[in-house]
């Protein structure tokens, strides 16, 4: 814990989960790098690498570090271990299709061997691929046995998605796993056509039956907007009926946040929505495809672009509240807002990394952003907005000291914030880094 009274320290208390002094299991070298973790309230799962290999791990605070898999270990159905090969190494964050081209087109979006995993009850679900062999799967790690289930939840080597494609999983209620995908031109389910859409499978179903939740070839909103592409869904189990929430693109190229429940497809918030500081733009890349849904509470958080006075554009952090009906968007900050908690001559936010991505625990929204002043002093901070007080405060910044080391950068993911506790990746001036548990419950 932080103990120094002479050096600048974070405005929150913290505990270290792991840092780059730890040896990676199965190797003789320490970690050199981590990706921002996923947090379920007690444990984290994360991607880490060293000079020898890259792997996926899970860790309970003060617990034993568990290796799920790595790029030296074959996975079922992949014909080898998961691979990483530059721009060809990617998971499918989204896929596009139209009624005229239902076969779809893959949209790779990451260079990680194993992208962001998800906790599903007592399991960890993750996407992995052997790209030279064109084999991919969604796999399940059982924490009780410490093993990867022999049969993938989803595979493009057999079953409904034979020669098809699918994306990163997200967790729903009661052991359900959701993912975007579409089937190949042929599959071994005679008479079944796996149109582009969102699908689900249960970790408790031994037959691993796959159910289509949304068909994007035929679905349209009440305004008759049809979808051209979708990002990975987030699941909102707090509503009276479970609802899928996701980033999508209409056939008319307008981006929006969509919802899908038993009443069908509908737009939650899209271009043209007006705030006092500006209007959500109607151009491409308006919305960040990474959205965050609180495990508890009533918020969805995302980044978008506003058209502001004078015709300029600025990034903005938006919270969509489900405590009102219909759900109401609330503007937290824009990239031209004053920088909370930072003093200096003409301090302003900088860079395209503003609030990419935000994270919410259902009551608060946290995001990272860079800033600078007229003295060309550059910094980065972790900011926290409280929905009840409608205020934004600075929790941690570059220049603070944690464990007697100077912070230089901070990174978070969309699924790292639960009940006031956030787990972030923190970089230090000496080149080391670590994954830290930050207590933001007083913010």
What integer best gives the mean pLDDT of the chain?
83
CA R_g for the chain: 22
What pLDDT, on the 0 to 100 scale, is given for residue 352? 67
CA distance readout (Å), 301 to 149, 293, 358, 419? 33, 7, 6, 15
For Cα atoms 241, 247, 252, give the angle at the middle one, nearest 5 degrees: 115
Please determine, for residue 178, whether its predicted confidence score (pLDDT) is greater than 50.
Answer: yes
* Token pair recorded at residue 194: 């796996």
For the segment 34-39, the average pLDDT, to the nearest whole number, is 94
Q: According to the model, what pLDDT value does residue 102 have?
A: 39
CA atoms of 24 and 302, how far apart (whole Å): 34
User: What DSSP string runs through 194-261?
Assistant: --SEEEEEETT-TT---EEEEETTT-B-TT--BEEEE---EEETTSSS-EEEEEEEETTS-EEEEEEE
Q: Nearest-5° angle of CA 169, CA 223, CA 327?
A: 60
Alpha-carbon distances, residue 291 vs 170, 258, 375, 380 (angstroms): 12, 11, 34, 21
Provide the token pair at 23: 């040896």
Mean pLDDT value across residues 295-314: 84
Judging by DSSP bridges, how do beta strands 154-155 and 135-142 pair with one another?
A: antiparallel
| CB distance 65 to 56 below 8 Å | no
Which pairs with CB-CB distance under 8 Å and at least 24 residues apart come from 250-257? 250/225, 250/226, 251/98, 251/225, 251/226, 251/227, 252/225, 253/228, 253/284, 254/225, 254/282, 255/284, 255/285, 255/286, 255/287, 256/287, 257/287, 257/291, 257/300, 257/302, 257/320
Asked if 226 contacts 251 with a C-beta cutoff of 8 angstroms, the reply is yes
Tokens of 114: 């194993």
The torsion defined by the Cα of 188, 191, 197 and 199, in degrees rounded to 10, comes to -60
To the nearest 10°, report the CA torsion of 155, 156, 160, 162: -150
User: Which is nearest to 135 in space by CA: 168, 100, 171, 162?
Assistant: 162
Residue 92, pLDDT score: 41
**CA 392 distance to own-chain centroid:** 22
Most confident of 212-221, 283-292, 339-348: 339-348
Predicted pLDDT at 251: 74
Strand partners of residue 393:
384
Which whole number is the average pLDDT over 263-276?
87
What gap in Å lies between CA 414 and CA 302, rounded to an integer? 9
Q: How far apart are CA 264 and CA 217, in angstroms?
A: 14
Lowest mean pLDDT among 16-30, 51-65, 133-147, 179-193: 179-193
What is the average pLDDT across 333-341?
93
Q: Are 177 and 153 in contact (CB under 8 A)?
A: yes
Q: How confident is the model at residue 44 (pLDDT cuts 50, 70, 90)?
A: very high
Q: CA of 330: how far to CAs of 190, 276, 296, 385, in Å?
A: 48, 10, 18, 11
Quick one: pLDDT band at residue 100, thresholds 50, 70, 90? very low
């Amino acid at each position: 814990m932080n103990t120094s009274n002479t050096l600048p320290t974070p405005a929150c208390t913290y505990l270290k989960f792991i840092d780059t002094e730890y040896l990676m299991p199965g190797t003789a070298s320490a970690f050199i790098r981590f990706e921002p973790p996923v947090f379920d309230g007690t444990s984290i799962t994360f991607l880490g690498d060293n000079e020898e290999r890259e792997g996926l791990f899970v860790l309970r605070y003060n617990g034993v570090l568990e290796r799920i898999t790595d790029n030296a270990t074959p996975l079922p159905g992949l014909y080898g271990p998961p691979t990483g090969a530059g721009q060809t190494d990617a998971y499918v964050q989204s896929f596009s299709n139209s009624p005229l081209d239902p076969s779809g087109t893959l949209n790779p979006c990451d260079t990680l061997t194993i992208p962001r995993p998800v906790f599903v009850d007592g399991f960890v679900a993750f996407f992995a691929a052997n790209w030279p062999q064109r084999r991919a799967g969604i796999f399940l790690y059982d924490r009780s046995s410490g093993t990867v289930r022999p049969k993938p939840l989803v595979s493009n080597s057999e079953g409904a998605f034979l020669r098809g494609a699918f994306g990163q999983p997200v967790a729903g209620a009661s052991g359900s796993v959701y993912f975007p995908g579409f089937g190949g031109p042929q599959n071994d389910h005679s008479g079944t056509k796996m149109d582009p859409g969102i699908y689900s499978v249960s970790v408790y179903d031994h037959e691993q039956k796959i159910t289509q939740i949304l068909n994007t070839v035929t679905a349209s909103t009440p305004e008759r907007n049809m979808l051209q592409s979708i990002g990975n869904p987030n699941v909102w189990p707090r509503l009276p009926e479970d609802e899928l929430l996701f980033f999508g693109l209409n056939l008319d190229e307008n981006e929006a946040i969509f919802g899908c429940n038993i009443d069908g497809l509908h737009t939650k918030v899209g271009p043209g929505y007006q705030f006092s500081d500006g209007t959500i733009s109607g151009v491409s890349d308006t919305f960040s495809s990474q959205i965050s849904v609180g495990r508890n509470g009533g918020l969805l958080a995302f980044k978008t672009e506003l058209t502001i006075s004078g015709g300029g554009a600025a990034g903005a952090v938006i919270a969509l509240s489900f405590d009102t009906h219909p759900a109401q968007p609330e503007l937290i900050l824009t990239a031209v807002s004053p920088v909370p908690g930072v003093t200096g001559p003409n301090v302003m936010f900088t860079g395209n990394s503003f609030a990419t991505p935000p994270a919410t625990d259902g009551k608060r929204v946290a995001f990272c952003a860079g800033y600078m002043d007229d003295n060309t002093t550059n910094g980065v901070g972790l900011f926290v907005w409280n929905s009840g007080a409608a205020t934004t405060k600075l929790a941690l910044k570059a220049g603070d000291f944690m464990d007697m080391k100077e912070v230089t950068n901070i990174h978070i993911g969309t699924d790292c914030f639960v009940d006031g506790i956030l787990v972030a990746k923190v970089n230090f001036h000496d080149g080391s880094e670590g994954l830290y548990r930050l207590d933001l419950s007083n913010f």
